[in-house]
Structure formats: structure tokens, C-alpha cells
Amino acid sequence: MGLTALGAPLRPAFAHGAPPGLLALDATSQAALVRAGHLQPAQLVQASLARVADINPRLQALVELCPDRARGQWQGPPSAGPFWGVPFAYKDAVDLQGTHRRSGSRLQADAALSSASSPLVARCEASGLIAIGKTATPEFQLSATTEPLLGGPVRNPWNPLHSPGGSSGGAAAAVAAGMLPMAHATDGGGSIRIPASCCGLFGLKPSRSRMQGSGPRDAGVDHAVSRTVRDSATLFWWNQRGDGAAPLPPMPAVHGPSARRLRIGFAPQNLFGEMPDPAVLQEVTRVARLCERLGHQVQPFAHGIDGERFFDAFMVAWSGGAERALQQAEGTGRPPDTLLEPWTLHLARHARALPAGAAARAGAHFAAVGAQVNAWFDAVDVVLSPVAASEPPPLGWLAPTVPGATLWARLMRYASYTPLHNVAGTPAMSVPLGLSERGLPIGSHFAARVGDEQTLFALAYELEQAEPWSHRVPPL
């Protein structure tokens, strides 16, 4: 069922208060109450849907609900997985049987209902998670904000005039606002980590090939945004590939910090040698000092990557998906600019203007960069940097209607830290340790060697214990 409240007017101000009762608990605690018989899955799902009805018209985080599907799941056999009864939502970039897959685009506004769910959905459902709907995404996940012309912008729960990040901005806004304890997210250039940072959540991007559906050359991976480290770690452990063809050995469950002290490289400069905005630099420097107080060895780190060359190659890869969307739009016989956003058209036309062999040269460059990044971890265990160059930007600053050359320049600076780890296949996470003077979240970014999510989760647990963040809630 569609959300009839989408587009309802914003209230002048949000009333202060935490998510009520059950929804203030993380997924692990909710599932524990169900297992103990103190709570029924129906109660959790109904509480979540009530919260959506109350809050979503102001934020536009969810774009479709599926209460009948949820009812069918909770009325069926209980799952033995770790999250039985916990409400969940999927990004509108995957197939969920009985819902639409629109990917934030007018091109797919009339998409038929998905006849089957993706393998990832099946795996999440086996864990016991109950889908209540789908979350908003920018058109074809092509931006670091979530402001699609189809449905309108998603608003950050911490300040409705600011972006929740992208492309998993709907997921992050929904979790931060207490509609869900965690939600599915994807990351092809920072799309888990940037929204997590913008909305004060924990978000880890897995290694390439680690999760279901992630291939050996894929930049994009699936996981989640959550309020606690343990929810993310448990879902990661459940969803990781365990088949005989998996290129990485399964990660054991991580339940807390490690006694191991780490060599942490501190790299506040982006790939162009630029420092982030003062508020971000102040926060990431503070986190570096926190790591030192916890006994880790923090040292200056130079990444040695040519930013101009890297982002030229990244633009080649990024624009390829837009060009395929333009082909589809042209096949409808309708004017493409009535179906695709200006930013998508800009990317597609860039792709069509590329010289022969550009994709192959970009791929070769990415292979060299990946080897270079993974070699970092001979000298350090983890690299600490900003997640993004600034606080969450105001809505409109990265909107798809901004002239293409201007928007590309803004995106290259704002999202200049995260794409490197998609190309290299390295795991990386945003840890929500900071709030700016204006009350906007600022995450800190940690990356490790391919396959070493265990180190990142253990460090995240340690930071969560040192400076808990679950008491922070946006002023809704």
C-alpha cells in the first residue's frame, strides 16, 4: 500500500521526546523480549507502523508500506534467527515481493509489483526480521543526498532543513526517527556511511564479496544502518556469505571490544589534500585523541592517492549506470527529461561523450588503487578520517536540479572520503560520536584491510562503551 500521507505539510516545529516505549529499544533487545514471551511480533510491528504514521509525513523516509505482508510473516512459523519479530525496511533499490521497485525515479513510477524477493531479503527474513515497507532513495542511488523528484526530499530528523545523506537517506532517517531499530542500506560510494554520519547512526560497509549478492568486481554492497553496534554486528554475522565459493572466510560473531591495541593512521585530508570544514576537523581530531586515551597508537597518515585521477575514473564508472537509465527512458518514446532528473541526464551524457577505452582505463586504475589502499594496512591496522567534508548540508545544496558541473564539484568535495573504499573493496564504518554546535551529527570514519571487519566491530564496541550515543535522539 502506498503512503497516502506523503507530501503532507511540515509542522512548524518538532515536539521534543524520545521514540516511545518499545521503539526506543534496539533490535537485539526487541527480539529478546519476543523470545522470552514478553512481547508478540504483532505488537512490535504495529508500534512501528504507528510511529511511521505519526512521523513519516514530516520526513518522507518510507515510500511504501506492506502491512499485509508483515502480518503474513508474523502469523507464520516463528524464526529461530536472532531477530524474530523485529520490524525492518528495505531500501527501494531491491526487490521485495509484493511491493514496487521504483529506485526513486519517475522512469519507474509505474513499476509492476515485484514477483519475487532478492536473495538478500530471503536471508534477512530467515533472521526473523519482518518487513514493513521500503525506504526512499535518490534516483538510481546516484547521489549523496536523498532528494528525488519522485516523492520529494527526505528530511533529516535532527533538522528538517538539512539532508539525511544518501543514497540510503530514507533508511537512516527512519531509524534515527525511531520508526525502526535498523534498516537495510546499500553502499556504492558512501551510501551507508554518509547517511549514518548525517543521522547519528552506526553504519558499516562490508568488504567486497562479503555479503549475499556481492560479486568480486562490485563496488556496491548491502548491509544496514542501526542505532547500536551489536545490531549491525549480529546482522552482518547472519548475512555474510558462508558458501563454499565465498572468497573471504566467515567472520566469527563479534560481541564486544578486543584487548588488542591498534595502530591507527590519522588522515583528515581528502584525496585532493584539502582539510574538511572546521566543525568536522575538530570532531575527527577529538576522536583521534579519544583513541589515544584508550591506548591505541595514533599516527599521522598520508594516503598518497591522486584525487583528480581517482575521481575522473570514478565519474566514468558512476556515469555508466545513468547511461543505461537513459537508454531505458529513450525506449519509452517519451522525452527523457520528463522521466529522468537533470543530474542523471548530466551523468548519462558524460558517459556518452567518453572516448573509447575509458571504462577499461578506469578499471585498470581502480585495480592499482585497490592494491595501494590494501597495502596501507601493512603499516597501520585502521585508518581514521572524516566521513564527509562538512556537516549534513542544507536541502537543495546537492539537489538533482543543481547544474551538473556545479553539483559534481560539490559532490567531489563533500563525499571525497568514502568512495575510495568501495573501489578498494575495503570495509569501513561511520561511528556516531559527535554533534556539532548546531546540533547536527558528525560521524568518524574508520577503514581496515579487506576481510577485517572483526577489527572494526571490536573498535566500534569500544568507542560505544567509551562514549555511548544511544541516549541521543533527534528533537522530533
Q: For residue 392, give the amino acid letter.
A: P
Within a domain: 111: yes
How many angstroms from the chain centroid is the CA of residue 324? 23
* pLDDT score of 20: 58
Three-state DSSP class for residue 447: strand
Torsion of the alpha carbons at 425, 426, 432 and 436, rounded to the nearest 10:
-80
* pLDDT score of 119: 95
Three-state DSSP class for residue 52: helix
Phi, psi of 262 (to 5 degrees): -105, 155
Distance, CA of 119 to CA of 116 (rounded, Å):
9
Do the Cβ atoms of 348 and 340 come closer than 8 Å?
yes
Residues present in the chain in total: 476
Over 389-417, what HEC string results? CCCCCECCCCCCCCCHHHHHHHHHHHCCC
Distance, CA of 444 to CA of 384 (rounded, Å):
7
Name the domain count of the chain. 1
Do the Cβ atoms of 90 and 121 come closer than 8 Å?
yes
Distance, CA of 82 to CA of 181 (rounded, Å):
14
Within a domain: 373: no
Q: Of the candidates 420, 219, 416, 192, which has an alpha carbon nearest to the alpha carbon of residue 321?
A: 219
CA distances from 35 to 84, 201, 233, 365 (A): 8, 26, 19, 50
Within a domain: 15: no
CA distances from 34 to 18, 28, 51, 67 (A): 22, 10, 19, 19
CATH of the domain at 179: 3.90.1300.10
Do the Cβ atoms of 62 and 33 come closer than 8 Å?
no
Within a domain: 46: yes
Within a domain: 110: yes
Distance, CA of 264 to CA of 371 (rounded, Å):
19
Per-residue pLDDT of the chain (476 residues; tens, 9 = 90+): 234 332 222 222 223 334 558 899 999 999 999 999 999 999 999 999 999 999 999 999 999 999 999 999 999 999 999 999 999 999 999 999 999 999 999 999 999 999 999 999 999 999 999 999 999 999 999 999 999 999 999 999 999 999 999 999 999 999 999 999 999 999 999 999 999 999 999 999 999 999 866 555 578 999 999 999 999 999 999 999 988 788 999 999 999 999 999 999 999 999 999 999 999 999 999 999 999 999 999 999 999 999 999 999 999 999 999 999 999 999 999 999 999 999 999 999 999 999 999 999 999 999 999 999 999 999 999 999 999 999 999 999 999 999 999 999 999 999 999 999 999 999 999 999 999 999 999 999 999 999 999 999 999 999 999 999 999 999 98
Q: Which residues are catalytic?
A: 91, 167, 191
Provide the β-strand partners of residue 134.
Answer: 64, 90
Q: Quick check: bond before 436 cis, omega within 30? A: no
Distance, CA of 159 to CA of 163 (rounded, Å):
8
Which domain, by its residues, includes 102?
A: 22-199+218-239
Do the Cβ atoms of 434 and 471 come closer than 8 Å?
no
Burial class (CB within 10 angstroms; exposed 0-12, middle 13-18, buried 19+) of 378? exposed
* pLDDT score of 216: 53
For 350, the grid coordinates are: 558524460
Do the Cβ atoms of 276 and 392 come closer than 8 Å?
no
Within a domain: 62: yes
CA distances from 95 to 114, 131, 134 (A): 6, 12, 10
How many C-alpha atoms does 386 have within 13 Å on its Cβ side?
A: 28
Over 178-243, what HEC string results? CCCCEEEEEECCCCCHHHHHHHCCEEEECCCCCECCCCCCCCCEEEEEECCHHHHHHHHHHHECCC
* pLDDT score of 217: 57
Q: Of the candidates 316, 329, 328, 322, which has an alpha carbon nearest to the alpha carbon of residue 344?
A: 322
* pLDDT score of 243: 80
Within a domain: 59: yes
Q: Which residues contact 49 (CB under 8 A, 6 or more apart)?
A: 65, 67, 70, 87, 132
Three-state DSSP class for residue 109: coil
Within a domain: 320: no
Distance, CA of 443 to CA of 268 (rounded, Å):
13
